[in-house]
């Protein structure tokens, strides 16, 4: 009988810890009914029943988030759907087309690079790309 009791305690502890970590590591958008801290306390203080309640009512499936609520406050422009729609409309209307230059001779970026390479002093500090530095660091 003691072996059964020890096995039941170990199983209850394992299930509780699994449910607790599952709750704490799950994305907020996938948790239903109560907030994450409330579910963690329920699982922790009501070991087996809290785990069962978590799996029945609190744990949302990863395939479909509960709600995609809009974030409050300011939103970055690349995350704001209204702004992106407005930019798409402006692009279709041609408002963001590149402006034509009035110069007769179009200059390319490679010409500018070659000109600047001739003008730069040839010091021992510069590498083959024309950048200067003390040569102590490497870039990956």
Specify if 24 maps to a domain. yes
Whether residue 102 is contained in a domain is answered as no
CA distances from 69 to 58, 66, 82, 104, 111 (A): 18, 9, 15, 53, 51
Give the global pTM: 0.45
Determine, yes or no, domain membership for 42.
Answer: yes
Mean pLDDT per 10-residue section of the chain, whose length is 140 residues: 93 94 89 90 92 89 58 68 82 72 55 48 55 59
Which residue, 75, 42, 78, is CA-closest to 58? 42
* Residue 50 belongs to some domain of the structure: yes
The number of domains in the chain is: 1
Please, what's the largest Cα pairwise distance for the chain? 97
Domain-located, residue 78 = no
Per the structure, the complete domain to which residue 42 belongs is given by 2-58
Predicted pLDDT of residue 117: 47
Looking at residue 91, what is its pLDDT? 83
- For residues 16 and 126, what is the distance between their CA atoms, to the nearest angstrom? 62
CB contact set of 19 (below 8 Å; sequence gap of 6+): 43, 50, 51, 54, 55
In a domain, 31, yes or no: yes
Residue 70 lies in a domain: no
Report pLDDT for 82: 79
């Amino acid at each position: 009988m003691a072996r059964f009791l020890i096995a039941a305690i170990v199983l209850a502890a394992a299930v509780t810890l699994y449910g607790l970590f599952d709750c704490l590591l799950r994305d907020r958008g996938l948790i239903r009914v109560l907030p994450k801290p409330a579910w963690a306390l329920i699982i922790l203080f009501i070991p087996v029943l809290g785990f069962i309640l978590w799996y029945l009512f609190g744990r949302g499936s990863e395939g479909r988030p509960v709600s995609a609520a809009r974030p409050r406050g300011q939103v970055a422009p690349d995350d704001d759907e209204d702004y992106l729609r407005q930019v798409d409309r402006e692009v279709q209307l041609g408002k963001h087309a590149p402006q034509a230059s009035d110069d007769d001779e179009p200059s390319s970026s490679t010409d500018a690079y070659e000109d600047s390479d001739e003008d730069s002093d040839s010091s021992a500090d510069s590498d083959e790309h024309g950048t200067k530095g003390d040569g102590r660091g490497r870039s990956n």
